[in-house]
Structure 1
Amino acid sequence: MSTGTSSPTGHDTPAPGLPATPVPGPGQLPLIGNLPAFSRDPLGFFARLRGHGDVVSWRLGPQRALFLSQPEHIGELLAGVETNYRHPELGWAFKLVLGEGVVTSEGAAWRRKRALVQPVVRPRQVRAYAETMVDCASSLADTWEPGAHIDVRRDMLGLTQRIAVRTLFGTDTAGREGVIGPAMDIAQAAIGDEFRGLTLFLPPWVPTPGRRRLKKAVAVIDSEVNRVTEERHRGGADRDDLLSRLLAARDEQGDRLTDKEIRDEAVTLYIGGHETTGTTLTWAWYLLSRSPEARRRLAEELAAVLDGRTPGFDDFKELRWTEQIIRETLRLYPPVWLMTGIAKEGSTLGGRPVPEGTVLWASQWSAQRDERWFAEPDAFRPERWDEGATPVPDHAWFPFGGGARACLGARFATVEAVLVLATLAQRFRLDLDPGEIPPRTGLTLQPGRPVRATLRSA
């Protein structure tokens, strides 16, 4: 899974070639455009937009927007952020929580921060955290008993929260998850609520109950991150965790990240390593519970590769079916379910000019369920990622984004999801309660109802 400018299938971003002629979308209301339909059901709304054509015009409130469905156009958008398109403002809540981190900054500031943060999550560094991932998963499995009933999402988020805290702040912070975790949950929920509603367009000074809750949660987050950062400054010890690597990072001029920048990058890494991976694992258990054949092949692979021992980083490349389960889960239920960019002056798409200020939208949920690129698009079929299977067009699968602003933590998240799934699945089978689980859009694509399961011995 690539995090550079290449596509997930390993090819370079194609040169613009496919014409992009906008077609009108659904009817709009005065002033608010398509906001009510989008707010009620964003995923269904995107599916309807896709039915109109490959480049569809619509409005989110006063914003002029284009929705993209062709992978070639999506590739142009992903490759053009920072050149043809600027990074969008994602709301007051988003900015309050993530600050001026690598996700929200632009231009020279973004390039500096990316250069400082990227080495922290390189594959060589991810290897160092694999043991923590497996240890935390094994500790969770030790608390499970055959026949017990569990809340899958609660356990997966709790597990990835422990992994995030320990890889970010170090093992000496064990037990602190109960301090920062609830505050992060409030923050992430507030971002999702704001994005779907009218508060996205309210000025920052307008008070709402949700904003008051968010401010309190952010104060807790800031206090906890600052506490650990100050301890590191006083102690001066060289530790093998993400925070220590951020503290040690230097830019080309030899300057460090400020404590405020450390805070912003730490929160960004925490959210990326906790909520998204925990949600992916929850959806993976849901899909496996509904696919006996996929579950059988998983058990066979774990027995053949691991032979009863816990996995390590070196097993990752051999756990191919396990990774294909994660890849297919990311296709059907991508935690990050949309990408946007705002056209700069002189921007083009498919060789045609795009008016300055137009917001271009692409949805992982929509593109990755398009029957033109995926046979039986709503079916869980990990075998579609087998070697020799029909290749997927570049940028039809982009759960980690793409281009220069691709997710820096993609490798970390993929290794974590595979090793955690392997560790737990070699000991337990999860039989979920019957019935469909609809997705709910927030900061990430979450289950719309509790995900409960009965534990069985593997």
Structure 2
Amino acid sequence: MPVAGPRRLPLLGNLPAFGRDPLAFLERLRDEFGDVVTWSLGPMKIMSLTHPEHIAELLGSNEGHFENLDAGWAFKQLVGNSIMRSQGAGWRRKRSLVQPSVRPSQVRRYATTMVDCAVALADRWQEGTQIDVLREMDQLSQRIVVRNLFGNDVGDRAHALRDAMSVAGREIGAELRGIGLFLPPWVRTPARRRLLNAVATVDTEIGQLIHARQASGEAGDSGEDLLGRLLAARDEEGRPLTAAEVRDEAVTLWAAGHETTATALTWTWYLLSASPHARRKLAAELDRVLDGRRPAYADYEHLTWTQQIVKEALRLYPPAWIIPPRVAREGATLGASRIPAGTTLWCSPWATHRDARWFSNPTAFRPERWDTHAQRSAPPHAWFPFGGGHRACLGARFALVEATLVIATLAQRFHVDIAPGKVVPTVGLQLHPSTTLRATLRARPPARLTEE
């Protein structure tokens, strides 16, 4: 399958250009070379896909044609052999054990905690105060995931876990865009030593929580939190997850439910602050739907404009800027073309979400794109912040409900005013703002019930 692509350097391939600015590099591939582009990261041969049809085909393909890429030494140290890295029968077993914990019926239970934590934050906020938006959203999402995962705030242990997970995420992101991705496992750079120290803290703290829960005998029937459900889960043969497997899934749920949501919420506030029209419509919807009371899970389906705001923020700034890559096996095809075995296939929500073929004026913040009554022009998989196919993110519903209810709870009482100006995203494990987003809190005046 002859495919065009940029010129490559000996040994390094396109690593220098990618490392300088991964997002601009991926957009350049799309704009200059088309929907299917070949390039390389060092010795790794890569094929990037940006057309929704190709993305849908890849994400929906079976394991006989493509397998998940083992995404680096650093990532493996953190998530172990969790569902994110498992293959074949092992993956199917773990998915069957983990999925019931994040079904819509369970998300309904978790929603109360989401709102409780957001209300507690709003109670601490004061008119005229300046905040670091990412820090506030990071602490809020951490509190939500800790309480839903472990059943309480676990005191100082939560701070130790948060700090360790932050270090781990930073080092994983650095490895994914640098030469560290190709270093053998035995090489111990300063970055890898920092990562190992952080993972050791994660192992110790979560291991103690698992042991305490098992020793208390509360792992089974009561299991209202995620940890309890993981410990109580049994496969078709009646086997539970081992302690190591529970640790790996708990860490994965923490990472997926904490930093990803914090990042999405931060970008949402950034976009809302620069859009008075969207903010007025949000205030009107909150007054109409909630009438001054705190939101609940039952309100989620009625907060349609709030949902549209969240979806549009995820389009413009998808926290997962790259979907876990797949590797072609012998005989793999894409469309009618054969893919050489060993080729790594990439899909980037950033590149596809900002394609003018699917979204007019693609860099503009326009939540009305997602109005269910409007004419849809974007095809399936033009928007895929949670991946797709049988390996789509299990926590997608949890994340969308959390973001919607948190925005609704806080926006009922405050405007988050960020100083005007363009903020450039920076690539790590998540898509973070490159600079600190400082905002002034303004008590929200009553909204007019007419939408302009």
Fold in common (TM above 0.5): yes
**TM norm structure 1:** 0.94
SS at the partner of 2:39? strand
Partner of 1:419: 405
- Is the contact made by 2:316 and 2:363 (CA closer than 8 Å) also made in structure 1? yes
Deviation of residue 389 (structure 1)?
2.1
2:422, 2:129 → 1: CA distance? 22
Match of 2:226 in 1: 242
**Corresponding position: 1:122 with 2:108:** no
Q: Of 367, 370, 394, which aligns to 2:380?
A: 394
Structure 2 CA distance for partners of 1:231 and 1:172, relative to 1, 3 Å: farther
Aligned to 2:123: 142
**Deviation readout 1:234-288 (Å, 9 max, x if unpaired):** 1112241000000000001100000000000000000000000010000000000
Of the structure 1 ranges 253-262 and 390-399, higher mean CA displacement relative to structure 2 is found in 390-399
Residue 315 of structure 1 is matched in structure 2 by 299
Question: Which residue identity lines up with residue 450 of structure 1 in the other structure?
Answer: T
Distance 2:156 2:393 in 1: 28
Gap change, CA 1:186 and 1:71, over 3 Å in 2: same
Residue-by-residue CA offset, 1:71-111 (whole Å, 9 max, x unaligned) = 10011111115232110011111000000000011111111
Aligned twin of 2:447: none
The residue aligned with 1:153 is 134
Residues 160-182 of structure 1: CA deviation (Å, up to 9, x unaligned) = 00111110011262453212100
Q: CA RMSD in A?
A: 1.0
Mean Cα displacement is larger for which, 233-242 or 213-222? Answer: 233-242
Q: Distance in 2 between matches of 1:231 and 1:174?
A: 14
2:252 corresponds to:
268
CA contact (8 A) 2:417 2:440 kept: yes
State the alpha-carbon separation in 2 of the partners of residues 62 and 297 from structure 1: 50
AA paired with 2:7? G
- Cα distance in 2, alignment partners of residues 184 and 84 from structure 1: 34
Partners in 2 of 1:216 and 1:57 — Cα distance? Answer: 37
1:176 and 2:157 are equivalent in the alignment = yes
Output the CA distance in 2 between the equivalents of 1:22 and 1:405: 29
Equivalent residue number for residue 148 of structure 2: 167
- Kept in 2, the 8 Å contact 1:22–1:56? The answer is no
2: distance between equivalents of 1:139 and 1:307?
A: 19
| Kept after mapping to 1: 8 A contact 2:143/2:153 | no
Secondary structure of 1:97's counterpart equals helix
Letter of the 1:220 counterpart: T
Match of 1:279 in 2: 263
> What residue is the counterpart of 2:284 in the other structure?
300
The match for 2:18 among 38, 63, 66 is: 38
State yes or no: 1:343 paired with 2:328.
yes
Matched, 1:91 2:76: no
Letter in 2 for 1:377: P
The within-5 A match list for 1:417-456 is: 417-456=403-442
Question: Which residue of 396, 403, 407 maps to 2:389?
Answer: 403
Q: 2:264 is matched by which residue type in structure 1?
A: T
1:257 matched to which residue of 2? 241
- 1:356 and 2:341 correspond: yes
Which whole-Å CA distance do the structure 2 matches of 1:175 and 1:302 have between them? 35
Partner of 1:48: 28
Partner Cα distance (2:62, 2:25) in 1:
24
Task: Call closer, same or farther: CA 1:403–1:449 in 2, change over 3 Å.
Answer: same
1:208 matched residue in structure 2: 189
**Structure 2: how far apart are the matches of 1:228 and 1:284?**
33
Preserved CA contact (<8 Å) 2:223 2:232: no
Q: Check conservation: 2:311, 2:367, Cα contact below 8 A.
A: yes
TM-score normalised by the chain length of structure 2:
0.96
Whichever residue aligns with residue 133 of structure 1, its letter is M
Structure 2 CA distance for aligned equivalents of residues 159 and 172 of structure 1: 11
The whole-number CA distance in structure 1 between the counterparts of 2:110 and 2:280 is 29
Task: Classify the secondary structure of the residue corresponding to 2:300.
Answer: helix
AA at the equivalent of 2:287: A
Percentage of matched positions with identical amino acids: 58
CA distance in 2, matches of 1:341, 1:112: 20
1:56 aligned counterpart, secondary structure: strand
Q: Secondary structure at the match of 2:60?
A: helix
**Does the 8 Å contact 1:81/1:341 carry over to 2?**
no
Partners of 1:65 and 1:92 in 2: CA distance = 19
SS in 2 for 1:150: strand
Identify the range of structure 1 (215-224 vs 388-397) with the bigger mean alpha-carbon deviation.
388-397
Whether 2:4 is the aligned partner of 1:24: answer: yes
* Residue matched to 1:376: 361
Taking a change above 3 Å as real, the CA distance of residues 298 and 172 of structure 1, as seen in their structure-2 partners, is: closer
- The answer on 1:288 being equivalent to 2:269 is no
Preserved contact between residue 280 and residue 333 of structure 1 (Cα < 8 Å)? yes
Partner of 2:370: 385
Please report how far the alpha carbon of residue 64 of structure 1 lies from its aligned counterpart in structure 2 after TM superposition. Answer: 1.5
User: What displacement does 1:63 show?
Assistant: 1.5
Matched residue, 2:449: none
Matched, 1:185 2:166: yes
